[in-house]
Structure 1
Amino acid sequence: MGTSTSSSGPGSGVPFDPPWLDQLGGGDAENAQAPADDGEEAGHSNNPPTPNIEPAVGIAPARRFANARRELGAFARSGSREALGKAIGHYSRTGMGGARNTAARLRTSTRSAAGLISLLQTARDGSDPRINQWVSSLIARNPSAQDVINEVIQQVTTSGGSLEEESCKDSMAQAMSELMEIQPDIDLLNMTDGNIWTLVEFFLSHEACSRLQLDIGQLFESSKLAPREVVARINDMRDYLKAELSAQMRSLRQANGNPSSRQLESMMQQALQNTFSVYEGAL
């Protein structure tokens, strides 16, 4: 993925949240399912209504990522999980102004993830005529696995050219490919809820890892590691984030095993916030 080298990271004296972030919308299948007369969803839609997520607040301090860069550099050199955990904690607490801000900054990712869950559940259950037509048209073309991946991504992401949108596309493609490596015979349009949630965990861990790389800057590229070592370190960072994120997702799903479309994004925002809070608490 190319987003990790495209920026040296945001500086100080700027809002934690860019003002244009909320202008990024939903995917092509927006309004795929109208709400029922009583105001509740008629079922899962592939583009759930966006909850009122408060933007990240505050102004970034000077040298906001200095501690995170130091610890991430130590991780790059040694592979130390302790250094990596501290890097993530400093990134969230000082670099982003706290775990709530960090989760809010990733709301393009959680919006896409909520849309992904709803689309895949709706496609499997056949509960929406528009999605049924999309599935039938896609299957009629005898698509390859990559064709299905591309079509799903098109349905739940936008194409405005922002780093956030391109990162979501990249992470979603990697997450689906990763799931197919584990389960080669899986049907992406007929998955169990367990597989769908595993896919979302893959996706959000890719997104969190990418966000750190974008914000902290070209640290791995300047670490003088061999390319193979750089890939290994980035994969380790993603796996480390995924382990905690998966635990938080499982806990929230146990508390609400059948979230509505309106609750999906809020649930994933909470999972991200809880994840970064754990790393902050380890400092």
Structure 2
Amino acid sequence: MGTSQSSTGPNGGSPLVPPWADDQPEQPLSPPQRRRFAPFRESLGNAVSNGNKADFRKAIGHYARKASGGSSNAARRLGSVTQAGGGLFGTLAQIAMSSGEPYIDLARLTGLPCEMAISAIAQALTTQDGDSEKISAAINNALIEALDGIEIFDPQKITDDVIINTMIGYLTECIFIQMVMDSNKAWNKADTPSKAIHAETELRELIKVVVDKHMAPKLVGNIKNFPINQFINIERQVIIEVWQEWEAYE
């Protein structure tokens, strides 16, 4: 994903959780703080400019504590992400949905070039709301990375390790994209393309390390038999734990 954006991102008056994303709409939301994005954007701009890992950590800390409104609000903000993630997990594990059918029958994709199969999976699972582009990009990127080296799609290649790597990559990418979308003009501080690429790589890696740390231990045993709702709850818990760790970043 590139860092160029067509909008400046949300402002301090934007709701902490858009209605389409909220997976707990019955729970009251605290009002957003004025200028809640300012410390995050300033620190991220510094990090993009100088490449300093300490500034990236400082930006992430500001994002977790203030810009996103803390761990519980972050889990609600990523409600569409966790729901789509449940569909992705169920599809890869070929677990039947409540209707008795998977979202997409992977057997029908057998023999297709892997890129075409990945595109079909992303199209079938992407939500039709304000998070659709983010979710589609995250599914594509996660599957491309997890299936690297496989040219022709074969459902037999969907091992437990592929599922685990895909789900860690998917949640990482969704969080990364959300941070970029919320960063406003911070990326303009990169005065060369190489600085922008370095900043993306650094931020994505810092996110992935912590997501992996909290998700991998929860995906053990016969994961293909995990109920969809159990996996969605795992995603929510991982988001909360990741944010709680980030809130300590100074």
* Range class of TM-score, shorter chain: 0.7 to 0.9
Counterpart check, 1:172 vs 2:144: no
Structure 1 residues 117, 217: closer, same or farther in 2, change over 3 A? Answer: same
Structure 1 residues 235, 54: closer, same or farther in 2, change over 3 A? Answer: farther
Counterpart check, 1:261 vs 2:232: no
Aligned to 1:237: 203
Alignment of 1:86-101 (within 5 A): 86-101=58-73
Structure 1 residues 208, 186: closer, same or farther in 2, change over 3 A? Answer: farther
Could you tell me whether the CA contact under 8 Å between 2:19 and 2:25 is conserved in 1? no
Alignment of 1:149-188 (within 5 A): 149-160=118-129, 162=130, 164-181=131-148, 183-184=149-150, 187=153
Aligned to 2:7: 7
Residue identity (%): 26
Q: Deviations along 1:201-238, whole A, 9 cap, x unmatched?
A: 11111110110111121311x11421232122112211
Counterpart check, 1:247 vs 2:219: no
Structure 1 residues 135, 129: closer, same or farther in 2, change over 3 A? Answer: farther
TM-score by structure 2 length? 0.86
Counterpart check, 1:277 vs 2:240: no
Given candidates 116, 141, 150, the residue that maps to 1:147 is: 116
Cα offset, 1:69, TM superposition: 1.3
Cα offset, 1:118, TM superposition: 0.6
Could you tell me whether the CA contact under 8 Å between 1:15 and 1:58 is conserved in 2? no
Kindly provide the amino acid, as one letter, of the partner of residue 99 in structure 1.
S
Q: Matches of 2:87 and 2:120 in 1, distance apart? A: 13
Counterpart check, 1:208 vs 2:175: yes
Aligned to 1:71: 43
Structure 1 residues 61, 52: closer, same or farther in 2, change over 3 A? Answer: closer
Counterpart check, 1:138 vs 2:105: no
Query: Structure 2: where are the runs of 5+ without partners?
Result: none
Q: Deviations along 1:14-52, whole A, 9 cap, x unmatched?
A: 421122335xxxxxxxxxxxxxxxxxxxxxxxxxxxx75
Q: Matches of 2:248 and 2:119 in 1, distance apart? A: 39
Structure 1 residues 136, 246: closer, same or farther in 2, change over 3 A? Answer: closer
Could you tell me whether the CA contact under 8 Å between 2:107 and 2:155 is conserved in 1? no
Cα offset, 1:56, TM superposition: 7.8
Cα offset, 1:6, TM superposition: 2.7
Cα offset, 1:280, TM superposition: 0.6
Could you tell me whether the CA contact under 8 Å between 2:114 and 2:151 is conserved in 1? no
Kindly provide the amino acid, as one letter, of the partner of residue 205 in structure 1.
T
Aligned to 1:223: 189
Cα offset, 1:70, TM superposition: 1.8
Q: How many residues align?
A: 246
TM-score by structure 1 length? 0.77
Cα offset, 1:60, TM superposition: 1.4
Could you tell me whether the CA contact under 8 Å between 1:12 and 1:59 is conserved in 2? no
Partner secondary structure for residue 6 of structure 1: coil
